[in-house]
Structures are given as C-alpha cells and as structure tokens.
Structure 1
Amino acid sequence: MKFRILTILFLAAVSCKSPEARYPVTQKSGSYIDESVQRNKELLTQEETYIEQIIEKDSTRDYIASNNGFWYFYNEKNSDSTNTERPEFGDIVVFDYNISTLDGQPIYAEGEKPTREYAVDQEKLFSGLREGLKLMKEGETVTFLFPSYKAFGYYGDKAKIGTNVPITAKVTLHSIKTKTNNESNN
C-alpha cells in the first residue's frame, strides 16, 4: 500500500514538471537576412535615383515628395476652397486608376481596371495607393510615382506586374462618402 502511494506521489511530482526548451542542433548567423537587407537598400537607392532623374527631366510638372516614400503631381487639382475633405479611416471612396511603368509603358491601361469602391484602410490595396488616396480630394486626378516597395514589392500582382517593379499610377477620385454619412445611412 505504501508503495502505491509513493509511486502515485512520485508520478504526480514528475508530471508537474514544465517542458524544457529544445535548442537547435545548428545555429545560423543571420547572414542571409543581412544580405537581404543590403540588397533591398541598394534596390531602393537605384529606384529612388531613377525616379529623381525622371523628375529632373520633367520641368512641366510640380512634383511633391510625400512623407510616405513616393512622389506625385496633380493632373487635375480641386481648386474649390470650401472642399477640403480628404478620405479618412472608414470612409468609402470611389476611384479609377491605371498603372504604367516609370517609362510610361501601360501595364493596366485606362479603363482596364474597373471603377473601385474602397473602404479606407479596411480593405486590401497596395500600400502606396492606400496612402495616396488619403492625400486626394474629391474630383482630383493625381499621378503617383511609387518605388517597388510601395507598389507590389517582391511578389508583384501575380498577373502583369513582376518582382520589384516601380510603377506610375494615375488615379481619379470620384467621390468620398464619410464614415459619419455611412453610419447614418444604415
């Protein structure tokens, strides 16, 4: 009887032991990540230099450098001083856009992409366009120059845009339905 009690106590004590971490047999130094970071920095520098050369050659437009890592200019600017509304989180925007290479070769021609309705920051959209829409007012047309990391990055769009391709996107913002208007309609 004592043996059974001792066995049960022993098993209970052993089974309460927490699991121990297992360490890898081999450890890697992280050199692959360091090399990848270096490659990405060099790629970004090349793309930014190329975009800056395009801007220098084009004296007909006033380019603006955004705080988000891309450049843009207005094709049509909304000059109505009473309309200062820009899209914010949750607003619904309706827009059209086309995409071309930095050299102007069409990737998605005008009208090839359907008019899009987009809930700001609540749906998938490549980061540059998501940030660019927030800079626009209703009725404006803006051309954005995006380095590849602000466009479709390493993966491309799995259709017409390949790996690490910087792009130009011409965007027309048709309407903004503010979040407060959306809530009152429901």
Structure 2
Amino acid sequence: MKKLILFSSLMIIGCAQNNQAHPPVGGILSQEDLNVSKNRAKNLNQTERIQIQDWINNQNEKFYPMSLNYWVNIENLSQKNRKADGEEISYQYVLYDFDNVKLYEVPKKNLNVQFGKFEDLKAVEDALRYLEKNQEATLLVPSVLAFGTYGDNDKIPNDMPLIIKIKVL
C-alpha cells in the first residue's frame, strides 16, 4: 500500500504542469508577464552596466559611452559624420567575452552591406555609421544589444555581454 501511495504521489507530481519560461512562438503575454520581463531586463542591464564599468576601470585604455547603451574606445565618436541609410560598408569583427577569450576563431565578415538593411547587432551598425575606411574600434556591449536572452545557440550563452573588435574594410 505504501508503494502504491508513493507511486501515485510521484505520478501526480510528475503530471503537474510546469510554468513556461517563455511563451510559445506567437503566444500572448499577460501584463504581469510583461512587467516581470521588463523588470528582469532592467535589473540585468543595471548589473551589466556596473560590471562593464568595473572592467573599464581596470583597463589602461579609455572607453566612452554611446547613446545606444554601449561603450567604444574612440572619444567623441558620435560627433563624427554619420553615414546615412543606403550607404554601403564592408567590415569584420571578432567577439570576445570579458575574460578576453576569443569566442570564434574566424572573424565575422560582411561585404557591401547597406545601412538601414543590417542583419547584425545594433551596436555594430551604430558604431560603423561613424567609422571610416580601415578604422578599428573596440565596443563593450551589454547582452541586450548582443545576443540577449537566448544567446547564439552555439558559443555565446544567454545574457552574455561582449567585447567586439571591429574594423572597416
């Protein structure tokens, strides 16, 4: 009888519906779910900003905040001429974590991409709008502007801020 009760209890627990971490594709979030998500993102962003600022404080190189919520190693970058939608650019970049570990051996390279039609990270597009041919920059990017909650399903886990070393070709 004890075995039957134990088995029944385990079956009931096993059949209990788990709360989903994310709604199904096309699913609708309740206002409460939206608020939880918004607060999570806000707290994560604050935490990452503090971690990135601490990292910057331990570097010999200076980094400057950009309006899109990332940092770059070029002072007054956003004061330079901004490229308009439709202009083309070729570039490459390498991704690092904040331990300076290179995440992919081969740089990601994109040739003749039009501004306004980017399918790349927002911080990358934003910085490229101000960089000139053969110019290089280092970006410090919070996870929300990198690969976010889901990562890249390969070497970048969820909620991972990145160092991006970018070069205009």
- The TM-score bracket by the shorter chain reads 0.7 to 0.9
Distance 1:114 1:105 in 2: 19
Q: 1:32 aligns to what? A: 33
1:101 paired with 2:97, answer: yes
The unaligned stretches of length 5 or more in structure 2 are 1-28
1:127 paired with 2:122, answer: yes
Letter in 2 for 1:117: N
Q: 2:139 aligns to what? A: 144
Distance 1:29 1:172 in 2: 43
Residues 85 and 32 of structure 1: CA distance in aligned 2, closer, same or farther (over 3 Å): closer
CA deviation vs aligned residue, 1:105-148 (integer Å, no higher than 9, x gap): 11123x34245432112131111111111121222100000001
> Is the 1:97–1:170 contact (alpha carbons within 8 Å) kept by the matching residues of 2?
yes
Q: TM-score, normalised by structure 2?
A: 0.73
Structure having the higher Rg: 1
Q: 1:42 aligns to what? A: 43
Distance 2:41 2:136 in 1: 31
Residues 29 and 143 of structure 1: CA distance in aligned 2, closer, same or farther (over 3 Å): closer
Letter in 1 for 2:38: V
Letter in 1 for 2:63: Y
- Name the count of aligned residue pairs: 137
Which aligned segments of 4 or more residues in structure 1 are displaced greater than 4 angstroms?
none
RMSD, aligned CA: 2.1
Letter in 2 for 1:118: V
Residues 139 and 38 of structure 1: CA distance in aligned 2, closer, same or farther (over 3 Å): same
What secondary structure, in the 3-state scheme, does the structure 1 residue paired with 2:108 have? coil
The unaligned stretches of length 5 or more in structure 1 are 1-27, 78-83, 175-186
Q: TM-score, normalised by structure 1?
A: 0.67
1:155, CA displacement in angstroms? Answer: 2.4
> Is the 1:85–1:137 contact (alpha carbons within 8 Å) kept by the matching residues of 2?
no
